[in-house]
Amino acid sequence: MGARRRVPGLERERARWGWRFVAPGIVFFSIFSFYPMLNAFWTSFFNKKLLSLKSPDFVGLANYVRVLGSPEFWNSARATGVFTLGVFIPLFSLSLLFAALITGLRRGRRLVQAALYSPAVLSSVVAALIWLLMLDPRGLANQFANFLAGTPGVDRKWLADARMVQISTMIVYVWKYLGYFTILFVTGMGKIPESVYEAAMIDGAGPFRRFFSVTLPLLRPTTVMVTVMIVIQCMKTFSTQYLFTQSGAPSAPINVITLNIYNTAMRDLNIGRASVMSTLLFMLMLGLTYVQLRFSRRGEDDL
């Protein structure tokens, strides 16, 4: 009887300590993430201007109607979609490829990992500034592309042409995050038991068969996490597009939603409409993450 009484007490004590440990995190999240999110949602129903001293009027859904009816917003949605897709495909496949290659390495694994990861430690602003120099008409990117194509003197217009500037932002992002996602995949692959590979080899599976029939299915939790993270990161992209447009690149092709939010708030001072776009972006990210998680759970059940 005494033992029965003691166990719940111990659990309660453990729970109390649990709350004590997570409390700072909850407080921090509430102040710096949850409150701003709620505040942005609330602000989206007011015609609030950043510098105005007058109390903002409640306008209901008028800001939503205005934003959703604006071609500029849909251009931003297009730019974000194109960027997300344009980054997701190469970033996901290259990370997986490099992870498979690194896992197979017997020597120099850490060196290759460090080399691939190094761009990720740079701030996005520094990365964009480095690439601005490389993408200059007289920069390395043009010289390299012309060397490969054997077309000296051709200006690829990395920052000037509407299509090329979109590709340039994707290149910067893939370069910066390739190492980061490769390491996530390497970690995921490291968790797959060696015995499974040994069994597959005994059954006569070659390297490709082992990769597609063993590695990929067992890597699903990592794959889902990487997919969600890449999509969310891409939708939040800002610094590269901001710095490129500040350096003379045309804005419309790369006016992603975050850049539009920034300009609406800081340039046009219309925090009400900027909040609408933030809310819509948040809902979109939440929806996509939910769909991906549901899809992955269904996949797990099939295994």
Which residues bind to other proteins, rule: CB under 8 A? 49-53, 136-138, 142, 152-155, 157-162, 246-253, 263, 266-271
* Cβ-contact 116, 99 below 8 angstroms: no
CB of 176 to other proteins, least distance (A): 21
C-alpha separations of 69 from 46, 47, 102 in Å? 17, 17, 49
Q: Can you give the three-state secondary structure of 58-101, one letter per residue? A: ECCCHHHHHHHCCHHHHHHHHHHHHHHHHHHHHHHHHHHHHHHH
Minimal distance in Å, beta carbon 134 to other proteins? 13
Quick check: helix, strand or coil at residue 214? helix
∠ at Cα 171 (223, 265), nearest 5°?
90
The helix/strand/coil state of 47 is: coil
What is the nearest approach in angstroms of other proteins to the Cβ of residue 146?
Answer: 8
Number of C-beta neighbours around residue 75 at 10 A: 17
Smallest gap from Cβ 62 to other proteins, in A, equals 12
> 99 CB contacts (<8 Å, ≥6 apart)?
182, 183, 185, 186, 188, 189
Would you say 109 or 136 has its CB closer to other proteins? 136
Shortest Å, Cβ 149 to other proteins: 12
Of 13 and 57, nearer to other proteins (C-beta) is 57
Measured from the CB atom, the residue of 158 and 177 that comes closer to other proteins is 158
Q: Which is nearer to other proteins, 222 or 270 (CB)?
A: 270
Of the pair 53, 148, the CB lying nearest other proteins is at: 53
Shortest distance, position 91 Cβ to other proteins, whole Å: 25
Taking the least distance from each CB to other proteins, the nearer of 111 and 145 is 145
